[in-house]
């Protein structure tokens, strides 16, 4: 089993990190939460130029993939910078359409997804919610209902969310695109891709929270010394780091299992999802506690990361559902 990324994969991650750092994602997140999607769409286009969405699209439809390991690297950086939008849902929709075979729907949407021209959302089995993420900002919302795939013709009002940048709405109506057992099989594969990407996002988010917290406790003083010198603070940070470090090899193993179509890929992805989600959630609690009262304030960018931790932990496979899948005979 290969747990380490190669040089090209690490360089890809560093390139995305530099791109997103320069983009100033906190302002993009705040605009997206307020309903102004223009900055987010502009960032989406730059991510597409970097090849992020093409990683989920096969070469015959203008993509580069599917490449699950590189996809995990990319979504780790997207999580580290708290990029808003239906990122996971778009690559999961690409996986869904790819598995349905070469038809008009596939030929229409996959090249658009690969190029970043189409922002799409996906609602269905495995999403743990009847709501579609960012339906109001998407060019299409694909809905899976049993063995039927349709594209919604509208959506209900946007609902309040723990994370204001995750805008949720219930899709309705629409045109049937496919029907039959092939939809069920494709939906299961799409849910696995979504869970893997979400796990990578959570891991990146957790690492960002830990880095910000380490930086803060090194500057914040009490009794004349940095609070980071207190043994209890060191232990809390160490526990957070260990949880994130344990989750990373599970994520790599899951990506490799998906890339090689390993029969155990579903179980590997569930293990990665629960580990990364719980580690990110623990990192959010640590960040909130060690930042003290300022950790609660919306004005501090830290809140943009903290609010994403729990939704990412629960989306595309709650911890309980993932544990059940890992333990299933």
Spatial separation of the C-alpha atoms in residues 259 and 304, rounded to whole Å: 32
Distance of alpha carbon 158 from alpha carbon 131, whole angstroms = 9
Token pair recorded at residue 81: 């910078």
Would you say the C-alpha torsion 234, 237, 243, 245 has a positive or negative sign?
Answer: negative
The Cα–Cα gap between 309 and 49 comes to: 27
> Coil, helix or strand for 168?
strand
Checking if the pLDDT of 329 tops 70, the result is yes
CA 233, CA 18: separation in Å to the nearest integer? 30
**Per-residue confidence band for 1, with pLDDT thresholds at 50, 70 and 90:** low
pLDDT band at 130 (very low <50, low <70, confident <90, very high): confident
Mean pLDDT of the residues in the chain = 94
- Over residues 171-184, mean pLDDT: 91
Superfamily of domain 190-327, CATH level 4 = Butyryl-CoA Dehydrogenase, subunit A, domain 3 (1.20.140.10)
Neighbours of 256 (CB within 10 A): 18
Statement: residue 2 has pLDDT above 70: no
- Rounded average pLDDT over 320-326: 96
71 token code pair: 């996809």
* Residue 117: predicted pLDDT: 95
**Between residues 3 and 87, which one has the greater pLDDT?**
87
- Per-residue exposure over 200-211, b if at least 16 CB sit within 10 Å of its own CB, e if not: bbbbbbbbbbbe
Identify each DSSP E strand in the chain by its residue range: 120-123, 132-133, 140-145, 148-151, 154-155, 168-169, 171-172, 175-179, 221-222, 225-226
Could you tell me which residues come within 8 angstroms of residue 140 by beta carbon, excluding any fewer than 6 positions away?
Answer: 109, 118, 120, 121, 151, 152
pTM: 0.96
Burial of 157 (0-12, 13-18, 19+ CB in 10 A): exposed
């Amino acid at each position: 089993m290969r747990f380490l990324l190669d040089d090209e994969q690490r360089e890809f991650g560093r390139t995305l990190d530099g791109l997103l750092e320069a983009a100033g994602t906190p302002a993009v997140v705040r605009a997206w939460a307020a309903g102004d999607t223009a900055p987010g769409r502009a960032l989406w286009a730059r991510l597409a130029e970097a090849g992020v969405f093409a990683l989920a699209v096969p070469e015959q439809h203008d993509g580069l993939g599917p490449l699950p390991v590189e996809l995990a690297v990319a979504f780790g950086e997207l999580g580290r910078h708290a990029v808003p939008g239906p990122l996971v849902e778009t690559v999961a929709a690409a996986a869904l359409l790819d598995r349905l075979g070469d038809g008009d729907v596939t030929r229409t949407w996959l090249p658009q997804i690969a190029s970043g021209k189409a922002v799409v959302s996906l609602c269905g089995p495995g999403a743990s919610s009847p709501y579609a993420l960012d339906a109001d900002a998407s060019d299409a919302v694909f809905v899976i209902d049993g063995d039927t795939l349709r594209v919604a013709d509208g959506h209900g009002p946007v609902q309040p969310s723990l994370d204001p940048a995750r805008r949720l709405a219930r899709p309705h109506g629409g045109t049937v695109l496919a029907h039959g057992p092939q939809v069920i099989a494709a939906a299961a594969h799409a849910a696995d891709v979504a869970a893997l990407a979400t796990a990578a996002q959570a891991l990146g988010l957790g690492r960002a929270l830990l880095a910000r917290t380490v930086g803060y406790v090194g500057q914040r003083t009490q009794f004349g010394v940095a609070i980071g010198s207190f043994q209890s603070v060191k232990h809390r940070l160490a526990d957070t780091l260990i949880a994130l470090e344990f989750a990373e090899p599970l994520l790599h193993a899951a990506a490799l299992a998906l890339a090689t179509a390993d029969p155990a890929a579903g179980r590997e992805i569930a293990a990665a999802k629960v580990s990364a989600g719980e580690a990110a959630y623990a990192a959010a609690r640590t960040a909130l506690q060690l930042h003290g009262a300022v950790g609660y304030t919306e004005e501090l960018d830290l809140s943009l990361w903290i609010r994403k931790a729990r939704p990412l932990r629960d989306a595309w496979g709650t911890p309980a559902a993932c544990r059940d899948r890992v333990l299933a005979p």
